[in-house]
Amino acid sequence: MKRLLTLLGVVLLISACSRQDGKVLARVGSEKITEPYLQSKFAEISPAAREYLASKPGRRQFLDVIIHERLMLIAARKSRIANGEDYKTRVKQKEAEMKETLEDYKDFMLTRMWVEDMRSGELKVTDAEARDYYRQYPNTVTLAHILLPSEEVAEKVMKKLKAGADFERTAKEYSLDKETVRLPPVMYGEFLPELEDMAFKMRVGETQGIVKTSLGFHIIKKLSQEKVDETRALERVRKILEKKKFDAYLAKFQEKNKVEVIDENYK
């Protein structure tokens, strides 16, 4: 019984806003425990305990736990705590948190459903579009990358590299992103737009820069270039084209919805 109570601990002290419809299994004062409510609690139990709880003795013990829980709740509702300011304050805080969580969920779900709807309309990529893009950009490039905070530091690092300094070692010393020096292979459209043309036109082994983006100042070294199998590449190409269409859509939408960064620290 002790082990059972441990397994069923998740049902203790849970709000007893039970489902009122369905077969009534037990009454506790004026309240009833229905089969749908019991089943909802049963679903919360770990799979290891369900086999035993499916037996008649197990069901009875499980119901006893639920009855015990309901008795505790009824007693708590009639206690001085129920009308205390501390309890009321905590409930109000939780209500505010839940309201904020609900608003976040509504925003998330609305945006997600909108994007899914766009995929079948404005963002849809045809087979012909995907194949045409692949024929134009069939390769991936693998790059090593150094990100620097200022042009002055970038020029200093570039001089070291031109003098023969090891690229990876230099990146580990100076880059703002020391953990990601070697980047995963990218197709055209998957990298920073300001660096893409340079990256795909460079020779393997060549180092170029300095290029400024919103992230900082970049120096890149081309490690390899390989053609991707068309079958494996097409789904990747679809995502690239979908993103391009999405970015274009938002850019056009932004023309009618002015965006202004007020805080100087974020400009």
CATH (domain of 170): 3.10.50.40
Same domain (yes/no): 185, 240 = no
Same domain (yes/no): 129, 192 = no
pTM for the complete prediction?
Answer: 0.66
3-state helix, strand, coil in the chain (%, to 5): 55, 15, 25
pLDDT tens figures, 230-254 = 998 999 999 999 999 999 999 999 9
Cβ 16 vs Cβ 31: under 8 Å: yes
Domain of residue 192 covers 139-227
Cβ 212 vs Cβ 151: under 8 Å: yes
9: in domain: yes
pLDDT of residue 5 exceeding 70, the answer is no
Same domain (yes/no): 158, 40 = no
Total number of domains constituting the chain: 3
Listed residues 32, 62, 80: the one ending a domain: 80
CA 127 – CA 32 distance, rounded (Å)? 59
43: in domain: yes
CA 36 – CA 222 distance, rounded (Å)? 62
110: in domain: no
φ/ψ of 30, rounded to 5, equals -90, 0
pLDDT tens figures, 93-140 = 999 999 999 999 999 999 999 999 999 999 999 999 999 999 999 999
Same domain (yes/no): 187, 159 = yes
Distances (CA, A) of 221 to 78, 142, 206, 210, 213: 72, 9, 6, 11, 17
